[in-house]
Structure 1
Amino acid sequence: MTEEYRWRTVDFRPAPDGWRTAWITRDGLEICTMPGWLIREEIEHASPNSDGQSTGYRDVIASRIDHNGIEPIETVSDASFWYILAPGEDVPTSTEVAAEIDRRKPAQATKKT
């Protein structure tokens, strides 16, 4: 029998004013207000239909508002998330954004001539 581990949200803590998330989209840099942090616990399931038992592990993860409500940033299927900005932290410059976009480009295949 193989155990399966999942996370269950047990609490939400609103972020104080000024916390934001930075995203790299097709249109460039997008800065969004971060609603807060989700507190989650790890649940071990002995079988797919079991209720599961807490392993005692918890994590705190930044969240965002999506059409499905508040969700953890790490589970967003869109790979456009860049990083979290603290209150008072400067928005990235256009040079920093361009460097991040270049970093995300797949390695170019070496051309043979």
Structure 2
Amino acid sequence: MKTNAILAIALFASAPAFAQTATAPAAKAPAGPASTVAAPVKQVVAVSAPLDINAATVEQLSAVKGLTHTLAEAIVKGRPYKSTDELVKNRILTDALFAQVKDGLTVKDAPKHN
């Protein structure tokens, strides 16, 4: 009977060693350079030079936010310009629209009068 008692005690004592754990194994990090912590990504915004309203194509002018294809055609048709302000003076653009697009437009070489 002593042998059975000793055997029972040994089984109870070793039971936790044979029990399955309830926790999931930790996820392994991928090997190699991908396992390093990524550095913050800097957002790069492309800044384009202002378009010369005396030289830009209709397609280029249409790409300026706020200008439609029809407005771009009107700008090309009204050339040459001495300054971008003429777009408002000639009633091609409203004051509000000009304020929105003026940073994307320029006059590089004003036409010379003989």
- TM-score when scaled to structure 1? 0.19
Name the larger-Rg structure.
2
Structure with bigger helix share is 2
Give 1 or 2: higher strand fraction: 1
TM-score, normalised via structure 2 length: 0.19
